[in-house]
Amino acid sequence: MSPRQNCLACLDQEPPALFEAALWIAAEHDPTLQPAEVLREFNTLQQQISVALPALPVQELAQPLLRRLSELDFREDDSPPRPQVALLHKVIQRRRGQPLSLALVALELARRLGIPLQGVNFPGHFLLRVAGADHLLDPCGGRRLYTRDCRELLMRCQGAQAELSASHMRACDGRSMLQRLSRNLHYLHLLEEDYLAALKDAERVLLLGEPTVADHLARAELYQRLECPHAERFDVQRALLLCDDPAQRMLLAERLRQLASPPALH
């Protein structure tokens, strides 16, 4: 099977093999990557974490797990954004990554060690939680975030007018996490003007969950750059069907008319 097919097959397992699925996403961009080998090497990290955890009930071990990862130098990457901060095998090698990538490492360790931990699709900065706890956890170091901290984080990410809601703090499933990971990779490959790599990510976004208007327009933008007007038109049509904003619908309809017009002869 192709890396894409392997990724989807991992998500169809019960329970989903989320970490391995994320490795297959990385394998789409790095043909030399062997996910099975990374999984075997991951056992060493698991042992390093396990021996250092305190003797506490498992529901109290999530924060010590994240702190131990920080002690082993797993940190948020503050260098200029590049795809390596979201490609999971590179994150493990470099011990640097985006919050979501670090969260995927922590979630896999938690799964192996029987520690209850969930992902939270918080806007702008992926977070973690233990079910029933009165706080969230930052995957970059393990800091506890209470409601006030979450409100401040949201305002930093989205501006002073942003309002915190309960939906921002709900646990999310594996497909949602990998859809977000794919959006991140799409953006990072676009920054490097690697349009074919970005197209792989944009396509995967549409496969992993309910696509948005922005998701279809993101792929349409890539098709425009790659001079594929028929494919671009398809995504603009899909975006128009999903769009509820009257002003944006007018712009999309005009874009469709332009795509339907024959090119001028010179």
Q: Give the pLDDT score at 16.
A: 95
Question: Quick one: pLDDT at residue 77?
Answer: 94
Number of domains in the chain: 2
Which pLDDT score, from 0 to 100, does residue 32 have?
95
The stretches in the chain having pLDDT less than 70 are: 261-266
Smallest CA-to-CA distance from 185 within 193, 175, 197, 177 is with 197
* 246 and 168 in a common domain: no
- What local confidence, expressed as pLDDT, does residue 261 receive? 66
Residue 208 is predicted with a pLDDT of 96
Answer with the one of 126, 143, 172 that is the final residue of a domain. 172
Maximum alpha-carbon separation in the chain: 76
Q: Are residues 42 and 129 in the same domain?
A: yes
Quote the pLDDT of residue 265.
46
Let me know: does 56 contact 64? Beta carbons within 8 Å. Answer: yes
Q: What is the pLDDT of residue 158?
A: 87
Q: Are residues 139 and 256 in the same domain?
A: no
pLDDT of residue 100: 97
**Predicted TM-score of the model (pTM):** 0.93
SS3 state of residue 172: strand
Q: Is residue 266 part of a domain?
A: no
31/143 same-domain check = yes
